[in-house]
Amino acid sequence: MKIVLLDAITFGDTDLNGFNDLGEVVIYQKTVPEETQERIKDANVVVTNKVVITKEMMQNTPSLKLICIAATGMNNVDLEAAKELGIEVKNVAGYSTDSVIQHTFSMLLYLMGHARYYDEVVKDGTYSNSGVFTDVSKPFFEIKNKKWGIIGLGEIGRGVAKVADAFGAKVCYYSTSGANTNRDYLRVDLETLLNTCDIITIHAPLNDATRNLLDEKELRVCKDGAIVLNLGRGGIINEDAVAKLVDEKNIYFGLDVFEKEPLPKSSPLLRVRNKDHLYMTPHIAWTSVEAREKLIAKVIENIKESF
């Protein structure tokens, strides 16, 4: 059996030796679209995180029996074509839940506590020269008693709600599918959530119901000083609107995901003036060491179950 890994760089330093017990393994750190067909041409198993596998590629790879997506989302593989051609496709769910929950709070506390400012004010000598034992020039608030709105109360959303509860926040949620009726938390419509919540976190998939869900019109109604975090998918929140409102309104944004990744150099997000109100990380919420280890272990398990 020949196994081809197309974008191993996304796994970092995670041990990949477990694949060697299954057959011949070829590892590519990165694969651009023009290289994909040549690299998978005689593979029995393809492992991809974000590299796209098209119908044409599958048709030109008669040896291919299994595509393992090293992620939860499956939009990088033509699933209908795979089914038509008898190629099995498996993804991995639940491996990064704890990691994303943790990063949600990391982003929140960074913004809410003005971590960038306070770190720099000590390191650049301003604090040492102040003659005062403390600095209260950037007031911060407690999470306790703040109203926290969650967009998308799936497994990750519920985990965030549980930790928010522990901090003493008042949690409500908006169901993007309209089907979630969790009785532990108050369900509200989107307008109510945006109008009333101090903290808003997004943990939803990108689909027809969530694409551009938060545009300029929606974001303008957020409370003064609100913090909005997107750890779902890029495209749920309009990035042009974020770049505009950061400089026009007292609102904070934390973005770990973007409509196009990596973030283009031309993005207006890279040109905002009020940088203290915008915290961005390069799609890393899922990448704790433990999460990546779980991911690889499950991919290997998926291969074993198919052969």
Which residues are the active-site residues?
A: 233, 261, 283
How many CB atoms are located within 10 Å of the residue 10 CB?
Answer: 21
Q: CA–CA separation, 289 vs 233, rounded Å?
A: 21
With beta carbons less than 8 A apart as the criterion, state whether 53 and 81 touch. no
Whole-number Cα distances in Å, 62 to 41, 42, 129: 8, 8, 71
CA distance 75 to 102: 25
Residue 84: CB atoms within 10 Å: 12
Token pair 């029995």 is found at 44
Q: Determine if residue 179 is left, alpha or beta; phi over 0 gives left, psi from -120 to 50 gives alpha, anything else beta.
A: alpha
| Pair type for strands 186-187 and 199-202 | unpaired
Beta bridge partners of 151: 174, 202
Nearest alpha carbon to residue 1 among 54, 56, 64, 62: 64
Tokens coding 235: 């495209």
Q: Is 260 exposed, middle or buried (0-12, 13-18, 19+ CB in 10 A)?
A: exposed
How many whole angstroms separate alpha carbon 222 and alpha carbon 179? 25
Q: Which residue has the tokens 């999460």?
A: 291
